[in-house]
Amino acid sequence: MNRSIYTKLAISNLKNNRKTYIPYVLTAVLTVMMYYMMANLAANSPMDQEALKIILSLSVHVIEIFALIFLFYTNSFLIKRRKREIGVYHILGMGKPQLAKMLVIETVVAGAVSILGGIFFGTALAKLMYALLKRMIHYDDKLAFRMSWEIAGNTVLFFTLIFALTLIYNLLQIRLANPIELLHAGSQGEREPQTKWILTVAGIIFLGIGYYIAITTKEPLKALQLFFVAVICVIIGTYALFTAGSIAFLKLLRKNKNFYYKTKHFISVSGMLYRMKQNAVGLSNICVLSTMVLVIISSTVSLYIGKEDVLRTRYPQEVYITNSVSDDAENQKLHDMAEKICRDNQVEITDEKSWHMAELVKIKNGEEYTSAMIKDYSSSDVVFFDVIGLADYNQLTGERLELGDKEAILFTNGENYGKDTIQIDDENWTIKKELDKAPFGKKSDSNTENVYYMIVSDEKEFMENYLKKYQLEAEDKPVKWRESFNLRGSEEQKLKAVKELKTQAESEFEHTGVQGRYLEKETFFGLYGGVFFIGMYLGSLFLMATVLIIYYKQISEGFDDRERYQIMQKVGMSKREVKSSIRSQILMVFFLPLVMAIIHIAVAFPVITKLLAIFYLKNTKLFFGCTAGTVGIFAVFYVIVFVITAKEYYKIVE
Amino acid sequence: MALLDVKNVKKIYTTRFGGNQVEALHNVSFSVEAGEYVAIMGESGSGKTTLLNILAALDKPTGGKVYLKGNDLGKIREKEMAAFRRQNLGFVFQDFNLLDTLTLKDNIFLPLVLSGKKYTEMESRIMSIAEQLGISKLLNKYPYEVSGGQKQRAAIARALITQPQLILADEPSGALDSRSTDELLGLFNAINDNGQTIVMVTHSVKAASTAKRVLFIKDGEVFHQLYRGNLTSDEMYQKITDTLTVLTTGGEHRE
């Protein structure tokens, strides 16, 4: 009999708290579903897509961490709200063991609904997701998508663990509290928040460092190294400023008597002080999550949209054949092979170029480019010298230039070199001319590596001198030969021809490699489509979390404000005044995170542009458009969520 | 002319569904002269609080009129109502109704801030009042840091600082221990001696016995009233008790 009473109580408790429990269970269902689907996708991901596989299994872990933190956070919110109710049960004579029993049943019910619901919907939607993923990565195979019992089992196990943890937390809360405390938990006198100057200053410093890194980092590789430092700094800064900075600021306002004792400011400053103390963590959560959503979605969308662009930047021409040990007979055979294969596949070779080059790697040390070992050089100081003979250059461009001894023509893939001489090791070269355009490569603002194309009178002679000087064998530093061309024909034929060329050339010649847009396209689509998919997936997960936090914040604000609202009215504030004052406060509180997130994005923009450059996306305009679009859509979404939840809020207050 | 004139006030509540009508006030008439200290007594459910809400213009009567200094409360527009209340009425509540987020001082300033007064003026007003109520040293504390009696004194200060025509008190001693109640009632007398008009709703005989006049309400009507005259508090206490006995035993007694 006893058991059924507790079950009944537990179920009616869940029903009575439906305003807070339905969103909780709904989120839990969605989280389980997202996790289950992602785990299945990771298990079923195409075998030959290594990068995609890694990304998918990484995101499974991201969801794991997210689920743990998020469900725990929401639960702690719920149990705080319910302390009074539990206190009443306690006073009515329920002992702590009985309370525990009730809570256990509640958790079992909520957990079972969430997990089973999640797996059910996950199973229903997983195929759709799989189809979507395949579409995004341009991958089609006839392999059937298979759900596995093992993954379902793991999902159940993992989420049971999370729910068990929340239950333990709740039980501890009850164990530690006495009934009076439980009863008054909801209405505990609010202590005046302390001004934490150290935390405020720390917040400003951290945010400053993060912003400084974001704004000043110029080189892509450095950006990659520093980006996560910046992210951590900005997250710490955001939390510190929301918790301590806001209160310090409001207290300063309050100190200014002539400002503070004005009808408008009085209520809002004191109200905000109280709100910020309670909501700072929740608001910083919203801010950080919003920023993540915005960064992830805007960058993955631009990568996906800009993938053609990317290929074009990386491969100015469609096909590159490189023989890293140049040999005239071999080069000719390679050239003939390419022509034959293309002819067989009905594609035409156009814009054909070929040249010889010697490749050296030097490190910039002051004004000098040296081979000597230097301690603590950064990746941006490494320069690749592609030394090309004048004969090849004249042939490619149709010019008739002449160069003397120790004279060179220079072309860089980044910023112009700009000086008249260049010192390589102990040799001083005169730069006769610096080019803005060259047939070998393309100029770009953001490169992952620095390449200096140096045209000298004869590349073989250059190399021989070089080898003699360092007493090296010719095998160590051979002269390379490279041919590049575009193709004309149908997409399918082109791909087929290039694939054939690659297989044949690389198996027949030891030192040969074939690269190009068509070959990379598959990997690119796999990678970028995968990144895009994950971006959307995680983005929507974070968005859901943001929405839920906003909802809970509104509700808890509502309960807290009801009393204050009534008092102010009794003391002589008109309904309208109270309403407008409360409204402006909520607006401030809820749009602060959005505004902050947008500022973060704006500041992060340059550094993310640099990061995207590593993925060869250099279309800043495209990225700007994507960011602006994402921010716009997100803001609209945010406003809609706000308006809907605000209704709930007014219902509570009225 | 009386300061407060209540004429044939009637209040009928209609339940939300089904239209069941409940008559909270049947026909209440009385008037309060400037400088009076009137207690309104009655049991739970007799309509005391309804009456006070109507006097405070928080609620509108179904019939009848309330005049404050000759102004018909029913004719004040909704927009001006809050300002009117702020300027003419001061409130003291059973549960103090202080805002947790403000210091006592700021709580007391609240109505003045709402009226847009200058900070220097507020400062000059609060000193004498805080002195009189014995809370000068507590002004920078928060409500949760002081006792119930001290909270109620802050609430009285908040009511007094606007220099209202009339102070309305709703069970002011309801949440206080006996010592704090004594202090509070002493304060009310002192304030009244300074010329402040007070109307207090209570069902505490002790509280009522300090007033200069006691109105008894039963079933939505003024059933009886007692004037203190030259009686001591104890004699007044006895008289009130007797009247309440008659009231509860249901006699059709009128004086």
Query: Looking at CA atoms only, how far is residue A264 from chain B in angstroms?
Result: 8
Confidence category of residue A448, pLDDT binned at 50, 70, 90: low
Report residue A116's pLDDT band, with 50, 70 and 90 as the boundaries.
very high
Mean pLDDT of A617-643: 88
Amino acid at A606: P
What value does the mean pLDDT take over residues A36-49? 80
Question: Which residue's entry shows tokens 């970028």?
Answer: A528
Nearest CA in chain A to B80: A574
**Which pair of tokens denotes residue A450?**
């620095």
pLDDT in tens, B92-112: 888 888 888 888 998 999 888
The phi and psi torsions of A143 (rounded to 5 degrees) equal -60, 130
Taking the Cβ of residue A418 and every Cβ of chain B, the question of whether any pair is shorter than 8 Å is answered with no
Note whether A403 and A456 are within 8 A (CB).
yes
Using the predicted structure, report yes or no on whether residue A365 has a pLDDT greater than 70. yes
Q: Is B114 on the interface with A (CB under 8 A)?
A: yes
Query: For residue A147, what are the contacts with CB-CB under 8 A and spacing of at least 6?
Result: A40, A123, A126
What percent helix, strand, coil does chain B show, rounded to 5?
40, 25, 35
Range with the lowest mean pLDDT among A164-168, A305-309, A358-362, B234-238? A305-309
Measured between CB atoms, which of B101, B110, B144 is closest to A571? Answer: B110
Least CB–CB distance from A261: residue in B83, B101, B113 = B113
CA dist list (Å): A351 to A311, A319, A428, A484: 18, 11, 35, 8
Contacting residues of A for B113, CB less than 8 Å apart: 261-263, 266
User: A497-537 pLDDT, tens per residue?
Assistant: 888 888 888 888 888 888 888 777 777 777 778 888 888 88
Asked if the model's pLDDT at residue A438 lies above 50, the reply is yes
CA pair distance A216, A219, nearest whole angstrom: 9
Mutant choice from A254, A266, A277, A571 vs B, greatest count of B C-beta within 10 A: A571
Chain A residues in contact with B111 by the CB 8 A cut-off are 571-572
- Tell me what the mean pLDDT of segment A396-422 comes to: 83
Name which of B85, B99, B106 is nearest A572 (Cβ-Cβ). B85
> Does B134 have pLDDT greater than 50?
yes
For chain A, what are the domain ranges?
Answer: 1-189, 192-316+525-654, 317-522
Check residue B252 and give its pLDDT: 55
Would you say residue B83 lies in a domain? Answer: yes
What pLDDT is attached to residue B200?
A: 92
Residue B144 lies in a domain: yes
Q: Which of A425-434, A628-637, B212-221 has the highest mean pLDDT?
A: A628-637
pLDDT tier at B254, thresholds 50, 70, 90: very low
Q: What is the pLDDT of residue A233?
A: 92
Instruction: Quick: pLDDT tens for B2-27.
Output: 889 999 988 888 776 666 778 888 88
Per the CB < 8 A criterion, the answer to whether A449 and A384 are in contact is yes
Nearest 5°: CA angle at B74, between B72 and B79? 110
Q: Which residues of A touch B81 (CB under 8 A)?
A: 574
Q: Find the domain containing B198 and state its range.
A: 4-249
Residue A205 is predicted with a pLDDT of 94
Query: What pLDDT shows up at residue A154?
Result: 92
Residue of chain A minimizing CA distance to B159: A571
Q: What is the pLDDT of residues A244-294, one digit of tens each?
A: 988 898 888 888 888 888 877 888 888 888 778 777 888 888 899 889 889
**Residue showing tokens 């509502």:** A558
- Which pLDDT does position A183 carry in this prediction? 64
Q: Is residue B121 part of a domain?
A: yes
Q: Tell me if chain A has a CB within 8 Å of the CB of B142.
A: yes
pLDDT single digits (tens) A459-497: 777 887 877 777 776 666 678 888 888 888 887 888 888
Q: Does B227 touch chain A (CB under 8 A)?
A: no
- B184 assigned to some structural domain: yes
- For A273, how many CA atoms within 13 A lie in the half-sphere containing its CB? 25
Residue A97 — pLDDT band, cuts 50, 70, 90?
Answer: confident
The two three-digit tokens of residue A279, written as one number: 């909501």
Contact between B101 and A271 using a beta-carbon 8 Å cutoff: yes
Q: Quick one: tokens of B23?
A: 């008559």
Q: Do B101 and A270 touch (CB under 8 A)?
A: yes
Task: Please indicate, yes or no, if residue B254 is contained in any of the structural domains.
Answer: no
Percentage of residues in chain B with pLDDT exceeding 70? 95
* B106 with A270: Cβ contact below 8 A: yes
Please give the pLDDT value at position A300.
Answer: 86
Chain A CB within 8 Å of residue B190 CB: no
A571: nearest CA in chain B?
A: B111
- Shortest CB distance from A564 goes to which of B89, B99, B145? B99
Task: Give the whole-number percent of chain A exceeding pLDDT 90.
Answer: 14
Cβ distance of A571 and B122 shorter than 8 Å: no
CB A619 within 8 A of CB A306: yes
Please indicate whether, in this complex, the C-beta atoms of A189 and B143 are within 8 angstroms of each other: yes
Q: Output Rg (C-alpha) for chain A, integer angstroms.
A: 32
Residue A443: per-residue pLDDT:
75
Q: Is residue B255 part of a domain?
A: no
Query: CA-CA distance, A181 to A542, in Å (whole number)?
Result: 35
CATH code for position B133: 3.40.50.300
User: In total, how many domains does chain B have?
Assistant: 1
* Contact criterion met (CB < 8 Å) for B86 and A572: yes
Q: What's the whole-number mean pLDDT along residues B165-192?
A: 87
Residues B31-77: tens digit of each pLDDT: 999 999 999 988 777 778 888 888 888 888 888 899 988 888 888 88
Mean of all residue pLDDT scores within chain A: 83
- Report residue A650 as tokens: 């007014």
Nearest of A59, A30, A55, A45 to residue A145 by alpha carbon? A45
The pLDDT of residue A182: 66
Across chain B, mean pLDDT equals: 85
For residue B113, give the nearest of A266, A271, A564 by CB distance.
Answer: A266
Tally Cβ neighbours within 10 Å of residue A149.
Answer: 7
| Residue A142 confidence (pLDDT) | 58
Q: What is the pLDDT of residues A179-235, one digit of tens each?
A: 666 666 555 555 667 788 899 999 999 999 999 988 888 777 777 778 888 889 999
- For A567, the closest of B79, B86, B97 (CB atoms) is B97
Higher pLDDT, A444 or B80: B80
The candidate with the shortest Cα–Cα distance to A254, out of B8, B105, B248, is: B105
Could A571 and B111 be called an inter-chain contact, meaning their C-beta atoms sit closer than 8 Å? yes
